[in-house]
Amino acid sequence: LDLEADLRRAINGDGFIAFYQPIVQLHDGAVVGHEALLRWRHERRGLLLPGEFIGLGEDSGLIEEVDWVMYRRVLQHLAAEPGDSYVSINVSPRHFRATDFADRLLRLADAAGADPSRLRIEITEVALLDDASRAIRMLRTLRDHGVLAQLDDFGTGYSALSYLHRFPVECLKIDRSFVSGLDSGGGHEAVAVVRAIQALAGTLGIYTIGEGIETLAQSQTLSGLGCTRGQGYLYGRPAETPVYEASLG
């Protein structure tokens, strides 16, 4: 396939880049970190989003190589950028299941000269499901080296709520689909879901990040429900050069 050959070439060249989207404290808009989002600068097709090539990368087995290129870039960025804000990387369930994932990530951080405690991983609930004890071991190894984990797209998976407490995760990222349903005067169902997620986070003793915040009303509703951090176009779009200044709040 045409795009697959391009994918192989881009892995060995510099076609894959990280965009950074700020993650803020909702009460004052201060930037606490960034989520790294993969982009492919394709020579003919322009800037491609993950949705346009991740499927292809998975089918051809190349996505893991793309991820390592991406993770190396993020770690080099962390090593070059002083400060204590963090960067979170997205890890696919399949990738998280690889037995050497943690070791390889930690070696890469070491080689890049990056402080692993400034790195986070984002995984979805799916990554925890099929072999829970292995997932717990992986999360502990990473955490013991300073790499905390965040549960991405939370609320959309088949959460086995009863055993979530076994997994050492730092926070829950409330899926954008619930945040977009929160607007003043409406969104009773979204409010109910967010309230339930907040209650769960409270029980687990962890915090939440609201994703995809586009309006001040959404931000204020989330705050009112106990969510302390957020990201979304209201605070900043993903960009090649990370922005550190607080914007709204």
Using CB under 5 A, which of the segments 105-113, 150-158, 187-195, 216-224 binds Na ion?
150-158
Q: Could you tell me the smallest distance in angstroms from the CB atom of residue 74 to Mn ion?
A: 13
Site for Mn ion in 147-176 (CB under 5 A): 152
Q: Could you tell me the smallest distance in angstroms from the CB atom of residue 185 to Mn ion?
A: 29
Query: Are the C-beta atoms of 136 and 117 separated by less than 8 Å?
Result: no
The Cα angle at residue 23 between residues 211 and 79, in degrees rounded to 5: 135
Place of tokens 């700020």: 22
Site for Mn ion in 84-123 (CB under 5 A): 90, 122
Q: Could you tell me the smallest distance in angstroms from the CB atom of residue 20 to ligand G?
A: 11
Query: Are the C-beta atoms of 56 and 40 separated by less than 8 Å?
Result: no
Per DSSP, 216 falls in state: H
Residue 149's SS3 state is strand
Site for Mn ion in 170-229 (CB under 5 A): none
Q: Which of 74, 153, 178, 197 touches Na ion by CB under 5 A?
A: 153
Query: Are the C-beta atoms of 27 and 223 separated by less than 8 Å?
Result: yes
Residue 152 in the binding site for ligand G (CB under 6 A): yes
Site for ligand G in 207-226 (CB under 6 A): 211-214
Site for Mn ion in 62-81 (CB under 5 A): none
Residues 6+ apart with CB under 8 A from 122: 35, 88, 89, 90, 91, 149, 150, 151, 152, 173
The Cα angle at residue 238 between residues 104 and 246, in degrees rounded to 5: 105
Query: Are the C-beta atoms of 167 and 159 separated by less than 8 Å?
Result: no
**Residue window 192-221: x/- pattern of binding to Na ion, with contact defined by CB under 5 A:** -------------------x----------
Q: Which of 233, 239, 240, 247 touches ligand G by CB under 6 A?
A: 233
Residues in contact with Na ion by CB under 5 A are: 152-153, 211
* Residues that bind ligand G in the complex, under the rule CB under 6 A: 21, 37-38, 49-51, 63, 67, 70, 90, 92, 152-153, 176, 211-214, 232-233, 238
Write out the residues near Mn ion by the rule CB under 5 A: 90, 122, 152
